[in-house]
Amino acid sequence: MTQTTLGIHDVGSAAALAEVARRDASDPLRRYRDAFVLPPGLIYLDGNSLGPAPKAALAALHTAAHEEWAQGLIRSWNAAGWWRLASVVGDKIGRLIGAEPGETVVADTTSANIFKVLHAGLALRPGRTAILTEKSAFPTDIYIAEGIAHSTAGVTVRLSDDTGADFAKKLDGDVAVVLANQVDYRTGELRDVARVTARVHAAGAVIAWDLCHSAGAMPVDLAAARADLAVGCSYKYLNGGPGAPAFVYAATRHHAHLTQPLSGWWGHAAPFAFETAYRPEPGIRRLMCGTQPILSMRAMQASIDLWDDISIADVRSKSMALTRLFIDLVETSCRGHGLTLVSPRDDALRGSQVSFAHAHGYPIMQNLIARGVIGDFRAPNLIRFGFAPLYVSQRDVHDAVVILKDILDSGSWHDPAYAALSAVT
């Protein structure tokens, strides 16, 4: 048996199983696994796309539907606190991203919130007209920036090729707002929020952080970085449920000057006064627009409440251990099968996901899914695996690699059925 410093490289061996069992036994987060519904026989490595269902979320959803909606009816806007829910849940998320109370609110979709914060950023820097983001950003970031440029005279979008020289070159005195992803959705590359924010500020611009792939996966400290604006998703590492509403953040120092065109009645200072002119709410709720989906939000609230007792330092520590183990085991046991790591090898530069490039990534991933290992494929050639520390164990990582190795060794992914499967996620 090949022994390495990790001692478990020979996947499938008794020694490997003993070692992952030992590690799982000392995992400070292990009790959270039982907080989720995890279908038996499945290794779920796609919580970076859709988190599994917390049992508490299912219970909260039942109460919201059967008691608050069905029995309480319209009275629940007051009696069940629906009206303030976006702020209550927003503040809970705020705690995970380094926001003060009153700086985060649940609203709409990530895409819509990007629209708001980019407009807000442009308004905070009058005279400047450019939005800067990265070519590698999640596409909706770019599409929304384009939508603003097409509909707003003079506004342009710049795409940087990298986060280094080209970014610096394009970050000139005409850039009003930068939209940056804390974690690259394809590679899992992690950006230094404080450092990038400081660079953007030094150039006189404001920054909007897209936290979709970091919130709930690692410590985020927007206040320490003096970040201006942020958006993020609740249904990935935060396990809010499919399509649960997104969140949006703005630092308190900007609130008085915060404007955005989606000025719907939920962002009004007195929504039920039915005034005929818009008058924005003084705080973060001016980034709201319309009525939020309460049933989805109640499930999400229970998911977010799970985080009350969780040490985010433990989450990050376990996340690094899981991703490191996966990289290590794959590279050792699947050598020669054409997989190339595209995620950073350095723990400190890697988010909670690992992507490998493979010329036939699509059928390989379909074969994995058919075998009960759920990751996803990202065009053109990436197989992507997310490691959510609340419910993924070292044993899961080990077993996933056993199956991946078997698929590659046996060539079972060559079955044309896998390439023929359609998938949208």
Number of chain positions touching a second copy (CB under 8 A) = 94
68-87 binders of a second copy (CB under 8 A): 68-71, 73-78, 82-83
65 near a second copy, rule: CB under 8 A? yes
Fill in the per-residue mask, 353 to 382: x = in contact with a second copy (CB under 8 A), - = not in contact: ----------------x----x-x-xx---
Among residues 138, 167, 185, 387, the one annotated as catalytic is 138
- Shortest Cβ 180–a second copy spacing (Å): 16
- Shortest Cβ 312–a second copy spacing (Å): 24
* Separation in Å, CA 217 to CA 35, 66, 310: 17, 32, 11
Measured from the CB atom, the residue of 5 and 151 that comes closer to a second copy is 151
147-166 binders of a second copy (CB under 8 A): 147-148, 150-153, 159
Which residues make beta-bridge pairs with 231? 210, 248
Residue 235: active-site member: yes
Kindly state the helix (H) or strand (E) to which residue 230 belongs, with its residue range. Answer: strand 229-232
299 near a second copy, rule: CB under 8 A? yes
Token pair listed for 17: 């199983």
Read off the amino acid at residue 162: D
Measured from the CB atom, the residue of 261 and 338 that comes closer to a second copy is 261
- Shortest Cβ 402–a second copy spacing (Å): 21
Measured from the CB atom, the residue of 173 and 261 that comes closer to a second copy is 261
CB-based contacts of 26, cutoff 8 Å, min separation 6: none
Residue 138: active-site member: yes
Residue 384: active-site member: yes
Q: Could you tell me which stretch among 23-31, 46-54, 176-184, 310-318 binds a second copy (CB under 8 A)?
A: 46-54
Q: Could you tell me which stretch among 7-15, 250-258, 295-303, 344-352 binds a second copy (CB under 8 A)?
A: 295-303
Fill in the per-residue mask, 252 to 271: x = in contact with a second copy (CB under 8 A), - = not in contact: -------xxxxxxxxxx--x
Choice from 21, 31, 143, 195 touching a second copy (CB under 8 A): 143
Pick from 285, 200, 193, 188: which is nearest to 237 by CA? 188
Q: 290-315: string of b/e by CB count within 10 Å (b at 16+)?
A: eebebebbbbbbbbbbbbeebebeeb
Distance of CA 297 to the CA centre of its chain: 17
Pairwise CA distance, residues 269 & 286, whole Å: 8
Residue 116: active-site member: no
Measured from the CB atom, the residue of 7 and 271 that comes closer to a second copy is 271
Fill in the per-residue mask, 311 to 350: x = in contact with a second copy (CB under 8 A), - = not in contact: ----------------------------------------
Pairwise CA distance, residues 16 & 36, whole Å: 26
Pairwise CA distance, residues 155 & 132, whole Å: 11
> Within 267-423, where are the H helices?
294-305, 312-333, 361-370, 394-410, 416-420
81 φψ region: left (φ > 0), alpha (ψ -120 to 50), beta (else): left
Pick from 172, 177, 171, 182: which is nearest to 136 by CA? 182
What residues act catalytically? 138, 210, 235-236, 384
